[in-house]
Chain A
Amino acid sequence: QKEVEQNSGPLSVPEGAIASLNCTYSDRVSQSFFWYRQYSGKSPELIMSIYSNGDKEDGRFTAQLNKASQYVSLLIRDSQPSDSATYLCAAMDSNYQLIWGAGTKLIIKP
């Protein structure tokens, strides 16, 4: 099992709908969790970090962390075509190294 796993997609969502992105992780990476967005040809951009169980909201984005089930998710409400990108999930291990998922490609269809 990979330490951080994401479905590679593509995940296709109609404009205005909720996009749900998921990430599971192993016992070795259970410190802090991060979601990044990466447009094609650009560098990753931090969307949100989450450290404790529950939900964290920032504008149209909500991160959810469930440590018992070892998953973290990102919900994007009112999806826009500009949200089309690859979403990377990362988890920090006990050595403060970020372990990365392979990313989920999200496509928002107008």
Chain B
Amino acid sequence: KAGVTQTPRYLIKTRGQQVTLSCSPISGHRSVSWYQQTPGQGLQFLFEYFSETQRNKGNFPGRFSGRQFSNSRSEMNVSTLELGDSALYLCASSLERFYEQYFGPGTRLTVT
């Protein structure tokens, strides 16, 4: 079974721009969670989607948004990028909401 895939793997953007990251979960997995990881802050939860609905949301500003499609693929969007948004963005999928999460390789975003 293929693992979680994320595209793109690397991205360089300029402050003020917006970015969209994509995540394809493991086949059959219905829950997708997004995390931001920086050296100083560790893993920070962004949001979780299940059945195309946002079920949980972390403490991030409204510039961070996401959605899930009927095939469980998910996207997250960051508008008006700031330098502090530079991080590794990780997507994780699970079969159901209460099962183990499996991570994709991540998208490394650099904002200049």
Q: Taking beta carbons and an 8 Å cutoff, which residues of A are in contact with B? A: 31-32, 34, 36, 42-46, 49, 88, 92, 95-98, 100, 102-103
Residues in B whose Cβ lies below 8 Å from that of A44:
43, 90, 103
* A98 and B45 contacting across the interface, CB-CB below 8 Å: yes
* A43 and B90 contacting across the interface, CB-CB below 8 Å: yes
**Distance A103 CA – B41 CA, assembled complex (angstroms):** 11
Residues in B whose Cβ lies below 8 Å from that of A100:
42-43, 45
**Distance A46 CA – B102 CA, assembled complex (angstroms):** 7
> 11 A-B contacts, Cβ less than 8 Å apart?
A32-B98, A34-B100, A34-B101, A42-B105, A46-B100, A49-B100, A95-B56, A96-B48, A96-B56, A98-B33, A100-B43
Interface size class of B (residues with CB under 8 A): 10 to 19
Nearest CB in chain B to that of A48: its residue: B100
Q: Taking beta carbons and an 8 Å cutoff, which residues of B are in contact with A? A: 31, 33, 42-43, 45, 48, 55-56, 88, 90, 97-98, 100-106
> Count of A-B contacts with CB under 8 A?
42
**Distance A45 CA – B98 CA, assembled complex (angstroms):** 17
**Distance A44 CA – B102 CA, assembled complex (angstroms):** 8
* A103 and B103 contacting across the interface, CB-CB below 8 Å: no
Given contacts A43-B104, A98-B101, contact A103 B42 (CB under 8 A): yes
Nearest CB in chain A to that of B43: its residue: A100
Nearest CB in chain B to that of A93: its residue: B56
* A97 and B98 contacting across the interface, CB-CB below 8 Å: no
Residues in A whose Cβ lies below 8 Å from that of B101:
34, 46, 98
Residues in B whose Cβ lies below 8 Å from that of A92:
98
Residues in B whose Cβ lies below 8 Å from that of A88:
43
